[in-house]
Amino acid sequence: TQLLEQSPQFLSIQEGENLTVYCNSSSVFSSLQWYRQEPGEGPVLLVTVVTGGEVKKLKRLTFQFGDARKDSSLHITAAQPGDTGLYLCAVPNNAGNMLTFGGGTRLMVKP
Amino acid sequence: DAMVIQNPRYQVTQFGKPVTLSCSQTLNHNVMYWYQQKSSQAPKLLFHYYDKDFNNEADTPDNFQSRRPNTSFCFLDIRSPGLGDAAMYLCATSSGTGILYSEQYFGPGTRLTVT
């Protein structure tokens, strides 16, 4: 059983649609990060959420940390082909020097 | 711009022929990481350095070694590549201090092909 379960694993949608992806766990975390990895590139940090119930927005992306700090969601409004990529959630260990990644959600946005 | 640079972006090597991948950073971060990522999977940590302090993951094969001669550079040596070592290799850094310690900054990766 993975520490972080991401769903769905794959998502293919049309440009302009809205979507939500999830990162779930039974453990409580001090913080959680979301990364986006475009094909052939390294992951890029999108956001870090720290406080239970916290909502952060990055243009058309809305990130929420669960009240109990066990889960998180990423909502994309009016998806564009440039949003295509692998979305990874990750949590640090207690020392903060290592990350555990979820399995990722692979998103494809078709024009 | 401060960044993490990996060279080469694409590397082809023969089965059993040693290969070295390089990573440099201009972020002046204390911590550097090497990950292996296979198709459609999350990155898998191989090892990391806090300054010169080397930390190996328990399941990293002995075939993989690393060197960090200074703060800016880190190398991944694969002594005898096998077909199963074909993957994307990612270098990352983190500051090593403060509340943002755990945030990692990745290079673009080196895609290794083993023939």
Q: pLDDT for A27-84, tens place per residue?
A: 999 999 999 999 999 999 999 999 999 999 999 999 999 999 999 999 999 999 999 9
Mean pLDDT of B8-37: 96
Residues 6+ apart with CB under 8 A from B28: B71, B72
**What is the reported pLDDT for A3?**
87
Span A6-15, pLDDT tens digits: 999 999 999 9
**What is the reported pLDDT for B109?**
97
Pairing of strands B10-13, B31-37: unpaired
Q: What DSSP line would sit under A23-75, residue for residue?
A: EE-SS--S-EEEEEE-TTS--EEEEEE-STT-EEEETTEEEEE-TTSSEEEEE
Average pLDDT, chain B: 93
Q: Tell me if chain B has a CB within 8 Å of the CB of A39.
A: no
Q: Which chain A positions have a beta carbon within 8 Å of B103's beta carbon?
A: 33, 45, 48
Q: What SS3 state is found at A82?
A: helix
A21: its two tokens: 């992806």
Q: What is the CA radius of gyration of chain A?
A: 13
**Residue B82 confidence class, pLDDT cut points 50, 70, 90:** very high
Q: Tell me if chain B has a CB within 8 Å of the CB of A105.
A: no
Q: How close, in Å, is residue A100 to chain B by CA atoms?
A: 9
Q: Which chain B positions have a beta carbon within 8 Å of A35's beta carbon?
A: 106
Q: Which chain A positions have a beta carbon within 8 Å of B112's beta carbon?
A: none
Q: How far apart are CA B68 and CA B31, in angstroms?
A: 10
pLDDT at A2 over 80: no
pLDDT at B86 over 90: yes
Asked if B102 lies within 8 A of A101 by C-beta distance, the reply is no
Asked if B107 lies within 8 A of A45 by C-beta distance, the reply is no
Partner A, chain B 5-34, Cβ-Cβ below 8 Å: 6, 31
Asked if B45 lies within 8 A of A31 by C-beta distance, the reply is no
